[in-house]
Amino acid sequence: MAQHHSAAAPRRFAFLDTPWPCRAWISATVLAACVLPFVLAPLGHQHTWQSDTATGVLLVGLSIVNVEIGRLLERGISNSQRPHKALSAWVFAAALLLPTGWLLLVAAVTYAHARWRGMRVTLWKWIGSAAYVVLAGLAGALAAYAVLGDQRDLMLGAGGRGLAGVLVGAAVFLVVQTVLFHGSAYLNDPADEVWLRQTLASPSFYLTEAAVLLVGGLSAAIWTGGAWFVLLLAPVYALTQRAALHEPLRERADHDDKTGVLRFESWRRMALAGVERCHRGQRPWCVLFADLDHFKAFNDTWGHLVGDRALVAVADAIRAELRSADLLARFGGEEFCVFLPDTSAEAGLAVAERIRCAVGSTPVGSGSWVTISVGIAAAPAETDPSELVRVLTAADRALFRAKEDGRNRTGVELLSA
């Protein structure tokens, strides 16, 4: 894990501060993206009825239009944290229409223009992202060609074979792209990849990305069968771009930027819905409050950058002890809250103890460790949903007692209906 450099000047090249497995992963994929499209060119599609130059110019032009539509929807705001979904459509279309060597050119121009127009992702991540898309496009091109062979018109006859080629190519593209992005997300420092890990864990990301790839496939099919009819897809591009923008905006509103867990306001809304379900089903539930011990002193000793990494590590440790239905949020500062539906007092206490032990045994950077105190309030099945605030208050009291009793322990409050 990277060391804290509180007294040192920031390094000019952020890539050099990443863990060596991440540097190796990015370097290997960039090299592969520069070489493999030319080495494997004989195994991919060669030409369509249209000229390669006209096709390449069209795809780059469509990517520029798509980025500009996004800027209009975002009112020109530069954005460093959103998926580059719309960009992959044109690389995939290039994979279906052009010799594979064109993938590098289409991706390079597309990504360069998007960065110039405001997608301010860290440069090494942006280059890595472009390399991933090139390699995914290459894999999609080879898979599509295995189905289509030398068929130039994707809409030939009833279009069944062309459709199969597009679907197979899109599926392979998405799988390869997913694997490559997971590589950098989990080989890099967790504190530097909270947003990407959160994005990759969301099913909606894959649904939107698949839809975008199919838009690219549809554009390619129309270009081979009806050429300039592709211009009639402009409204589809606008709707696709809007969908690509909506999901990250919603995720940002609901989740804490630093740790990737829910914000308290979103947590409270979701917890209330969960309490109502428990009330209807006559099932008990619990709320936990957890607060890192002596965290101000930790920050003073190790610095706020290590403190940020510690918060990410603690959030991950807590999340690992929860079920998919449980809700975790950052309450504020170094405090977290958890809603446990369908959970008795005994089961809730067991979860609280697992969380306390997991955090205490998790290294959080620079050879440092932290402990956590937990307060739990257990609500019986008859508890009315309007009593959520009372249960939260009880959990906070239990946390206060745990700290008063020496910290790194669990306090419990049992409530009556």
pLDDT (tens place) for every residue of the chain, 417 residues total: 333 333 333 444 678 888 899 999 999 999 999 999 999 988 877 767 677 888 888 888 878 877 776 666 555 444 444 444 568 888 999 999 999 999 999 999 888 888 887 666 788 999 999 999 999 999 999 999 999 888 888 888 888 898 999 999 999 999 999 999 999 999 988 777 877 887 788 787 888 888 889 888 988 888 887 766 766 666 666 666 666 555 555 556 677 878 888 888 889 988 999 999 998 999 999 999 999 999 988 888 888 888 888 898 899 899 989 988 899 999 888 999 999 999 999 999 999 999 999 999 988 766 778 999 999 999 998 888 888 889 999 999 999 999 999 999 999 988 776
The residues, ordered by sequence, that sit 6+ positions from 116 with a Cβ below 8 Å of its Cβ are none
**CA atoms of 159 and 144, how far apart (whole Å):** 14
Residue-by-residue DSSP string for 25-89 = HHHHHHHHHHHHHHHTGGGS----SS-HHHHHHHHHHHHHHHHHHHHHHTTT---SSS--HHHHH
How many whole angstroms separate alpha carbon 342 and alpha carbon 150? 58
**The pLDDT value given to residue 73:** 59
Quote the pLDDT of residue 237.
65
Contact at 8 Å (CB) between 44 and 99?
A: yes
pLDDT of residue 245: 56
Q: How far apart are CA 144 and CA 217, in angstroms?
A: 11
